[in-house]
Amino acid sequence: MSGKDSKGSLWATLRSALTLDANFYENAPITPATTQIARTIVILAALSHVLGSFVILLINLAKPSILVLALLIDGLSIVGGYYFWTFTISKIGQWLKPNHVTYRDLLIPIGFAYAPQVFNFLTLIPLLGRPIELILAVWSLLAVIVAVRQGLDIKTHWAASICLVGWPIIQIAIGFVQVLEQNLVTRF
């Protein structure tokens, strides 16, 4: 796959993932190319979150050392959340449908479902940052529900139940990271 094809696939993947296209999630092949695209989407989501946090931390006059530490933690929290959420979904999925889908198989569709998080840089908009962040989080939740429903071939309410096990934990962790960043800026 050439660089140009790869870029076209990335944008097509983002577009399909953002529209919550069930057929897209069901028919996504497990290949090195799709694995790379899913990983790229998660990294873009993390970078977008870091960008929004960077501007907010600059406005709050964070010291350079605190800024770097906070941004590193911020980006890692998004990537770590992706792996943790995929892990919880795979474990519950294995319990519901043994030997149906592996953790590795779920990394691709859940990575695709992180597509709304690519817009996380918009959280830097004054007074709208938190509502935008919540909308993007719910949008990603809905995308993951669709991905899990298609991947495990289960009913929507079961997929939602599975996804809601890890989602609040991730949201609390991200909120904790944001409070930690604010405390670092004000204390140092």
What residue segments make up the domains of the chain, in order of their start?
A: 31-187
Instruction: Return phi, psi of residue 102, to 5°.
Output: -95, 165
**Separation of alpha carbons 129 and 106, rounded Å:** 30
Under the banding of pLDDT at 50, 70 and 90, the label for residue 94 is: confident
> Which distant-in-sequence residues (6+ apart) come within 8 Å of 106 by Cβ?
86, 89, 90, 93, 147, 148, 151
Residues recorded for the chain:
188
pLDDT in tens, 29-72: 888 999 999 999 999 999 999 998 898 888 888 889 888 998 99
Under the banding of pLDDT at 50, 70 and 90, the label for residue 8 is: low
- The arithmetic mean of pLDDT across residues 135-142, rounded, is 96
Residue 56 in contact with residue 133, Cβ under 8 Å?
no
**Separation of alpha carbons 76 and 42, rounded Å:** 11
